[in-house]
Amino acid sequence: MKFNKLFFVQIFGEFCAASMWMQLHCYGIDPLVAEGGVMSYGLCDGCALMIIIQTFGCVSGAYMNPCLTVAGVIMGKLKWDLAIFYVIMQYLGTMLGLILAYYTTPAMTRSDLYCVTDLSPQTSILGGCLLEFLMTSAWVLAQCSAWDKRTQGIQESISLRMGAVMMSLVLCAGYMTGLSMNSAKSLAGALFNWHWKNNWIYHATTYPAAILMSLVHKFLLNEGSKPAEE
């Protein structure tokens, strides 16, 4: 790996992507927006993802998520040494994004635990673990399909497609676990608010899901299987 201009552009792009993603995500779960329920939450996250991919996809790949970065390494889309710097930038970027969101949100509308991911009172620990694992698995598989050579002809719509996937997953499970699928996002919220209840779930489930699903796609669903003939 060369520490040249391209390297610094890439890691700076990833830092900005992670920061903007966290900031827009936190706005989306602000109490005023949240009055619209999980639908408004899903729309905000889906549209935010479209913005980020459209803006930073050509710069750094717009991974924004340590789990997707791990999947990118396994899928051969990202070299491991660059991935280490990406993960560092993602953790730092999400913290900055949360801070920016907190201090630009009117104090009267901020919740006590600002932008924290936690289980709903009705969701059990086991249920939360399974949901985060399954939803992260679906998210990683969707991203792997976007990297697949068989979809290279429709890359123009990738921001729309991935935004729609994010919105769909939030609508399915967002009200039960907060649907993190991103350990950096959960760590930033826990650190900023010093609220660690159930936080381990969002680290213990997302990385295994990313590793397992990227291996499944690489060895079972990737180029070895030809597209179905019409």
CATH number at residue 80: 1.20.1080.10
Helices (H), 36-156: 38-56, 66-74, 80-104, 125-147
Q: Mean pLDDT for the chain? A: 90
Confidence of residue 224 (pLDDT cuts 50, 70, 90): low
Looking at residue 169, the DSSP 8-state letter turns out to be H
pLDDT score of 229 more than 70: no
pLDDT tens digits, one per residue of 139-193:
999 999 999 888 877 777 889 999 999 999 999 988 899 889 999 999 999 999 9
Range of the domain at 80: 5-106+115-221
Q: Is 17 exposed, middle or buried (0-12, 13-18, 19+ CB in 10 A)?
A: buried
Q: Does any domain span residue 98?
A: yes
d(CA 161, CA 197): 33
Domain assignment present for 228: no
pLDDT value of position 24: 93
In a domain, 229, yes or no: no
Q: How far apart are CA 179 and CA 200, in angstroms?
A: 14
30-48 b/e with 16+ CB inside 10 Å = b? beeeeeeebebbbbbbbeb
pLDDT at 112: 82
- Quick check: 169 and 76 in contact, CB under 8 A? no
Domain assignment of residue 47, yes or no: yes
**Number of domain units in the chain:** 1
In this prediction, residue 33 carries a pLDDT of: 52
Residue type, 179: L
94-116: per-residue pLDDT in tens? 999 999 999 998 887 788 889 99
